A and B are shown apart, each in its own frame.
Chain A
Amino acid sequence: MKKIDFIEAKRLASLSALDFSEEELNSFIPEFENILDMVEQIKNCDTENVELIYPLHKLEELREDMSKSGLSQDEVLLNSPKSKKGCFAVPQMLED
């Protein structure tokens, strides 16, 4: 059974904030199908009585709430591709 079609692949690309050409997406679909065929094996495993536990970390393990210096503004901005007046710069979002 086909699990993913072009529309679904487009939806995933959008969720992933990734752009693909039509050709890239078409070559991606059969690879993706193969991977899903492989992971599909899990469906036959009985997990009826397994309770899903997400690890909740113990509250007593929280560290003391002490102020300490972090990275400086310059250090933070150093790896930004574009910054302006001490801020991350992006194209204008709102009209004047």
Chain B
Amino acid sequence: MEFEKYSVLELVDMLKSKEVTSEQLTKYFISKIEEKKSLNAVLEVFDDAITLAKEADKKISAGENGKLLGIPIIIKDNILYKGKKCTCSSKFLKDYVAQYNATVVDKILKEGGVIIGRANMDEFAMGGSTENSAYGITHNALDYDRVPGGSSGGSAVAVAGGLCPVSLGTDTGGSVRQPCSYNGIVGIKPTYGRISRYGVVAFASSLEQVGPMTKTVKDNAYMLEILSGKSTNDETSSEMPVIDYLSQIKGNIDGLKIGVCKEVLEVMKGLEVETPFLKILDWLKNNGANLIDVSLPNFDLCLPCYYIIAPAEATSNLGRFDGIKYSARSDKAENVDQIYTKSRSEGFGKEVKRRIMLGNFVLSSGYFDAYYNKAKKIQIKLKEQAKEIFKKCDILLFPTTASEAFKLGSKTDPVSMYKEDLFTISANILGIPSLTLPFASGENNLPLGIQIMANNFEEGKIYNLADYIETNWRWK
């Protein structure tokens, strides 16, 4: 049986009805990881995966329940799972072993999920192509010569390449959505605070969220419910009640108010994604949705604001890596100062160093007001502008990326790589939820994603529209 063809929801049913065992599933996916090793999506298969699968099978036989009981899952390499290595794809953390579980890991284990391995990523989640990993590049699941996107490239390829039915990524500026778009799968960056960040190695704490990456919209809705909720270990996690997102999928979009942002239409002119995007807008209108012209006047400033706020937070978050408490120590260090500088210089990769430097620049005296404070003020303005938009509509629709996945090694200049996040970054700056699903293909027959956004904590509306598109829009 080709288990990669089934959704999580189907596999849950198959496990329950004993059509398949967790051991069979786990062994199958581990063999797929081995078979597709050249993709370099998975850094490690955990040695207790099969034992855990057998335990899940025993629980199933004993009639126990769990929403993910027996389902194999892969997590991004920046999520702590007790007793397992977590390297953030950095040389600096090559031997780091997690001493506690991230909240999302606890939630998966509580529901009986079997975490089978950890996925490659851009070092410390900084990048848009998974070319910045100390453990080698990951290849796109659909075209070996192209990037998988990033930073959660390994997690996206794991699902798209049939190495597991579901994975977790993290999204600080598009790191779940862009790789999902490039590999033709579904991924969400939930509302800031929807999922606890406890136990996720921090890059830019005020912007990032964990997000499930799945083959279908319904799987994604199912996963979000499992992962969401307040955690006393993360003060920024929200008390907002977690709802059954699957029940929000109604099968129609009658009267749905969809905002179409004029600044985005302007930027999209001439890009590969423009034609299919305009086509689907027409189709949505013909299927009962109301299209509403809206404006996010400072849309063009989302990207610059991000590249001030994110490095500022990163420089502070990465200060903890000192070669003393954890992280590798340089053997050339002869005193404490040298432990810091030499260990950090040997441990961090080029992009991480660049962002630490940038962060220190925008935070240093003389520049702080002009850059950091200014960017934070613009973020407040942008949030006000978004508030006005959501007074008028339920959904805001953007493309996910400008075009199909680009060729490996083709973007060498940092700014052109940063511009990859042009359409995804606004959801992180605004804090709002945003889901991508494949909706078209480009000139090389590779997928393009559409981004569905809503007001804070209105993921239910997103899933309803996403499922409607997935079920009824024909593009393949």
Contact = CB atoms under 8 A, between A and B. Distances in A.
Given A41-B300, A45-B298, A71 B100 contact: yes
Interface string B394-422: 00000000000000000001110010000
B413 A34 contact: yes
A22 interface: no
A63 interface: yes
Contacts of B371: 39, 42
Nearest to A50: B377
B308 A19 contact: no
B380 A91 contact: no
A6 interface: no
A18 B337 CA distance: 10
Nearest to A9: B357
B327 interface: yes
B301 A42 contact: yes
Given A19-B342, A53-B380, A90-B336, A32 B305 contact: no
B223 interface: no
B235 A61 contact: yes
Nearest to A54: B376
Interface in A57-89: 57, 61, 63, 71, 75-76, 78-82, 88
A52 B368 CA distance: 13
B100 A38 contact: no
Interface in A21-53: 28, 31-32, 34-43, 45, 47, 50-53
Contacts of A18: 341, 344-345, 348, 353, 356-357
Contacts of B301: 41-42, 45
A88 B99 contact: no
A34 B413 CA distance: 9
B101 to A, nearest CB: 12
A31 B361 CA distance: 14
Given A88-B324, A90-B324, A20 B378 contact: no
A91 B330 CA distance: 12
B317 interface: no
Contacts of A76: 99, 325
Contacts of B235: 57, 61
A15 interface: yes
A93 interface: yes
Interface string B352-393: 011011101110100000110111111011000000000000
B325 A45 contact: no
B7 to A, nearest CB: 38
A53 B379 CA distance: 11
Nearest to B232: A63
Contact of B325 (A43, A52, A80): A80
A79 B326 contact: yes
Contacts of A51: 380
A79 B325 contact: yes
Given A32-B354, A35-B415, A81-B326, 8 more contacts: A18-B353, A19-B342, A38-B415, A39-B362, A42-B371, A79-B96, A82-B329, A93-B336
27 contacts: A15-B364, A17-B322, A18-B345, A18-B348, A28-B354, A32-B354, A32-B357, A35-B415, A37-B415, A38-B415, A42-B371, A45-B301, A45-B374, A45-B378, A47-B377, A51-B380, A53-B380, A57-B235, A71-B99, A75-B99, A78-B97, A79-B325, A80-B326, A81-B323, A82-B329, A90-B339, A91-B333
